[in-house]
Amino acid sequence: SDVSQVPEMLDDLQKLGECMAPLQRTLDEVNDQAAMFNSNNVLVSPANINKLQDLNTRWKLLQVGVDERYKHLRDFGKDGAPPNQSFLSASVDHPWERATTQNRVPYYINHQLETTHWDHPKMMDLMNSLTEFNEVRFSAYRTAMKLRTVQKRMCLDLLSLSRAVESFDSHGLRAQNDKLLDVTDMVTVLASLYELLAAENPSLVNVPLCLDLAVNWLLNVYDSQRTGQVRVLSFKVGLVLLCRGHLEEKYRYLFRLIADPNRLVDQRKLGLLLHDCIQVPRQLGEVAAFGGSNIEPSVRSCFDKAGKDKTTIEAVHFLNWLQQEPQSMVWLPVLHRLSAAETAKHQAKCNICKEYPIVGFRYRCLKCFNFDMCQNCFFSGRKAKNHKLTHPMQEYCTATTSGEDVRDFTRALRNKFKSKRYFKKHPRMGYLPVQTVLEGDALESPAPSPQHSTLTAQDMHSRLEMYASRLAEVELRTRTNSTPDSEDEHQLIAQYCQSLNGGESVPVPRSPVQIMVAIDQEQREELEAMIRE
């Protein structure tokens, strides 16, 4: 074939993929019905079972054929630097230049300073700007605010979940989760997405810049060693977590990514998914607050909620677990609430800074009558009059109804007659705690992504440095924001630590991992005061 015909052939292949997407959904529905019949002990005739198996096999062969044809055409069109990356040179201005390594990984040259960087200059600016959120006391909110900033900078808040899924399928990525994508593949998929977003939002979406930032972010999260390859599962998870869509729909799609043909998931597959999810707060330096990088406790927690001695779980078990906002994933629903609250206006005045109306999150004390706080005052731990940090709070991301006002008044009235000892004895958390297992315990962990299979000494030192920095920030805030209530707050934290260890005292950390867990212990327990019902 003539190389000049390759772009046209690739375009035809993409159109074929778009036609296949609705057929895939129909086949999924048929498989779901068959799985439901099987789980309810409804007999299906052997003839129908054989037909369904044959249909799934033929569909799989068609997908493999399309995928191989796509790779053949893409490789045939390569001559030096791939043509679909050449337009990305416009993502940087003088004195910067975009270049690529032999494995197509982008890097950036500053000709004025004569330096090279893996990060795009705008990505460096973005990551530096996130330090302003370090004053937010609660880890889940701090992480969500950082992620929301990243999400909007890459314009992924404009990308719908359905469009992302259709693009994955049209590019032959369905049922390919264990395969590796190179940077050229990622650019191809992202280019089709951003071109559509730019057509709908021309004033918001700069295609070369947004695409380059998205590739940069995904490589930072899933390929920090710059091997030039990312697993298809990681690529999908990274985009789905930050795209626009209903939270439950995201959960359902994430489950489908790892489910077998019977719509069941074992511990290994769940571990792979949670591993890819937890890399997001890890990239932001917040992973210790959500149980650390070890996903085994979260896997065990999910399976324990599903039932004793279960070897596989269904979608309903996965959804029920996530709806309790487990500690390792609590940052994701908080991100969605943060997004919903951005434009919310509440007809209430902040009792501390006097802001009216309150914009964003509104926090109502359920012990003090008529006491409201804006999100800035709540996040910074400010208080006034007789209000204390240990008081139960109700969070609102939308305007309240009259029924909610009456309910909260009743709660406040009831709480007025409860002593401080009661609240100490009955601490309430806004998330499902996950028992963190410290280094030294013999646990079987699912196989991680190839690029994260080992932790180098340099990585360990950088993480220790990061947590030492975080500890310094915590200590600084403790000195500058100390209150008469601090002793009570520390008692609550100690009580929660004790509950995590089955009533035993917290052991003295001995290994580097234990040290890192201990350093961020205060921030992890601060989530106690997050959301009160």
Burial-class residue 59 by CB neighbours within 10 Å (0-12, 13-18, 19+). middle
The amino acid at residue 267 is Q
DSSP state of 501: T
Give me the architecture of the 343-425 domain, per CATH.
2-Layer Sandwich (3.30)
Cis check for the bond before 357: say yes or no (omega within 30 of 0).
yes
Q: The dihedral of CA 461, 466, 467, 468: what is its sign?
A: positive
End-to-end CA distance of the chain: 66
Domain 126-339: give its CATH code.
1.10.238.10
Going by C-beta distance under 8 Å and a sequence separation of 6 or more, which residues neighbour residue 200? 158
Q: Which DSSP letter does residue 244 get?
A: B
What are the structure tokens assigned to 115, written together?
Answer: 């330096």
Q: How many CB atoms lie within 10 A of CB 383?
A: 20
CB of 228 closer than 8 Å to CB of 101: yes
State whether residue 467 is helix, strand or coil.
Answer: helix
Sign of CA dihedral 189, 193, 195, 198: negative
CA 522, distance to chain mean position in Å, is 22
For 417, residues 6+ apart whose C-beta sits below 8 A from its C-beta are: none
Centre a 10 Å sphere on the Cβ of residue 291 and count the other Cβ atoms it contains: 27
Query: What is the side-by-side order of every strand in the sheet holding 393-396?
Result: 372-374, 362-365, 393-396
Cβ contacts of 201 within 8 Å, gap of 6 or more: 155, 158
Contact between 10 and 70 (Cβ < 8 Å): yes
Which strand (E) or helix (H) includes residue 266?
A: strand 265-266
Helices (H), 294-401: 296-306, 315-323, 331-341, 375-379
Q: What is the pLDDT along the chain (533 residues), one digit of tens a residue?
A: 455 677 777 778 777 877 877 888 888 888 888 888 887 888 888 888 888 888 888 887 787 777 777 766 666 554 433 445 667 888 888 899 999 888 889 999 999 988 999 999 999 999 999 999 988 888 889 999 999 999 999 999 999 999 999 989 888 888 778 889 999 889 999 999 999 999 998 889 999 999 999 999 999 999 999 999 999 999 999 999 999 999 999 999 999 999 988 889 999 999 999 999 999 999 998 888 888 888 899 999 999 888 878 889 999 999 999 999 898 999 999 999 999 888 888 888 888 888 888 888 888 888 777 888 898 888 888 877 777 777 778 888 877 665 655 555 455 445 544 555 544 554 544 444 544 443 333 333 333 344 443 344 444 444 444 544 455 445 445 444 444 444 443 444 444 344 444 444 444 444 444 444 444 454 445 444 443 44
CA–CA distance from 503 to each of 467, 494, 498 (Å)?
27, 11, 5
Question: Considering the entire predicted model, what is its pTM?
Answer: 0.66
Nearest residue to 427 via CA among 389, 397, 396 = 389
Exposed (0-12), middle (13-18) or buried (19+): which is 427, by Cβ within 10 Å? Answer: middle
Would you say 455 and 270 are in contact if contact means Cβ atoms under 8 Å apart? no
Instruction: State the amino acid at position 201 in one-letter form.
Output: N
SS3 annotation, 144-213: HHHHHHHHHHCCHHHCEHHHHHHHHHHCCCCCCCCCEEEHHHHHHHHHHHHHHHHHHCCCCCCHHHHHHH
CA distance 435 to 426: 19
